Amino acid sequence: MDLTVLFFLTSGLLLGWSLGANDAANVFGTAVGTRMVRFGTAAVVCSIFVVLGAVISGAGAAHTLGALGSVNALAGSFMAALSAAGTVYVMTKWGLPVSTSQAIVGAIIGWNLFSGSITDSHTLIKIVATWIACPVLAGLIAVPLLKLVSYVLRCARLHLLRLDAYTRTALVFAGAFGAYSLGANNIANVMGVFVDVSPFTGFSVAGLLTLTSIQQLFLIGAIAIAVGVFTYSKRVMLTVGVGILPMSPVAAWVVVIAHSIVLFLFASQGLEHILANAGLPTIPLVPVSSSQAVVGAVVGLGLMRGGRDIDWRLVGSIAGGWVTTPLISGAVCFVALFFLQNVFNQQVYREVHYVLSAPVLTELAEQGVDTAALESLKGREFRSARAFVRAVDETGYGGSVSGRGLRDYAELKHVYVDSEKLSSLDRDWLSTEQISAIEDLEGQEFTHHWQLAKAMAARSAQWTRKEDKTINKLYNKELDKKLDYVYRLFDGFPDRR
């Protein structure tokens, strides 16, 4: 692997270290702060389970960050992660449990502004909504949970020594669950910006274990988190554990469990499947803030006791950090990208071009879209999403296809079904019929992703999306993942040497 690639990945590792240094407090802070669990024990347990959570369940939330802004150059990914890591480090130095999620979201928006990309407003609203829902939900879970546990303990009438032993064990198990949830949900913050430019290729170990490109990214990111836990997390643990609100060991356990449940809810693809199959609304897979979850749980318990024991000044400082973190991270990323591009001559983004060609307009017309207003743009090529959207707005276009959908159709994405790459298709994931449809297109070139998708769908119904979005949400989501895999595999022009 090129040493330059390894260098650029270091910013993701630094962000992972920062997350481990900061967010381990949310898993074991209350346990260590109440002296029920030793720091060494907490660090070991947290490190093991954060790695497992990242590798096994980390893929779900990563796709949301990709939808917010697709950082398409390794140098750009490096600077986005570095800006977020630097912001988190400074806040950690001050002893504040800030949100890594907010830091990386701010950095991605900074990259979008610099590159002329459009920040997907729907995805941004979804993420910001979770920033509000996360602490509230954690508090709502913590309060009844503490009442239930207190009732059970009163009925059990355990001896104090036995209660102490049970509580210590429960805190370790709760921390393990919390660390797994942290890895599953927040690894997207660490390595999410590198997913589109991953330098790794999938491989199998003795035919038993397969590690995909994304899982390899998540593995090294999780190891960086573990290093952060061991080296720098103790100070923030004490802030969370004893600074905001004096807590009993049982209350400390409740906080960890409530925080872990919230993170798990927003990262579990299995839960999403269960809810969708039952016809119920699904919970968005979004990388939420573990800091917000644990602070929300602590404040919820404090409010249950009347709110008098809460250090509101510290809570205000923490909340201020949550507000300023994305702003600082975004501003730092924007300025740093300018220097990285113009001083160090690095490609921080690849231009994405858009064109309303005849095939694009024909396809839109076949879907019933009134393209009359767009005819004036026919054949014109735009060098950024912002320029394209501005030109479309000037035409007065008001069709039924959303701005995002129109961009997806017009975006130039060259793919070539290379015969040499056909052998590397994942035959365990794709069906025989799906692979056959791809093989029928051997040697063909396409200038838009939708053209390849349409050609495959014409050869196999298994490449066709199903109409009822409510019933077939999971089917269509899985199909989108397979299509994205095919696009990545055959990306680029053919080698004509």
What is the mean pLDDT of the segment spanning 45-68? 78
Confidence of residue 497 (pLDDT cuts 50, 70, 90): very low
| Contact by Cβ (8 Å): 119, 353 | no
Residue with tokens 């396409």: 446
- Interval 361-394: pLDDT, tens: 999 888 888 888 899 999 999 998 888 988 988 8
Bridge partners of residue 338, in order along the sequence:
none
Report the range of poorest mean pLDDT among 97-106, 143-152, 230-239: 230-239
The percentage of residues in the chain with a pLDDT greater than 70, rounded to a whole number, is 88
Q: Are residues 334 and 110 in contact, defined by beta-carbon separation less than 8 angstroms?
A: yes
- pLDDT tens by residue, 293-343: 888 998 999 898 888 778 888 788 878 888 888 999 999 999 999 999 999
The verdict on pTM exceeding 0.85 is no
Return the bridge partners of 204, or none. Answer: 210
What is the CA 234 to chain-centroid distance, rounded? 26
Tokens of 148: 């239930």
Confidence of residue 401 (pLDDT cuts 50, 70, 90): low
- Is residue 241 within 8 Å of residue 32, measured between CB atoms? yes
DSSP 307-354: STTS-HHHHHHHHHHHHHHHHHHHHHHHHHHHHHHHTS---------E
Q: Is the pLDDT of residue 166 over 80?
A: yes
- ∠ CA 254-295-23, nearest 5°, is 95
Alpha helices in 157-208 (DSSP H): 160-191
Note the pLDDT of residue 91: 76
Above 60 in pLDDT, residue 402? no
Which element (helix H / strand E) includes 27?
helix 3-33
Assign 63 a pLDDT band (cuts: 50, 70, 90). Answer: low
Specify the higher pLDDT residue, 214 or 223: 223
Name the residue among 217, 183, 186 with its Cα closest to residue 74: 217
Query: Count H helices, E strands: the chain?
Result: 20, 6
Are 64 and 286 within 8 A, CB to CB? yes
Q: Tell me: the pLDDT tens digits for 410-468?
A: 999 999 999 988 988 888 789 999 999 999 999 999 999 999 999 999 999 999 988 76
* Helix orientation angle between 3-33 and 100-115, rounded to the nearest 10 degrees: 150
Segment (H or E) for 354: strand 354-355
Q: Is the pLDDT of residue 154 over 60?
A: yes
Select from 51, 82, 19 the least CA-distant residue to 229.
19
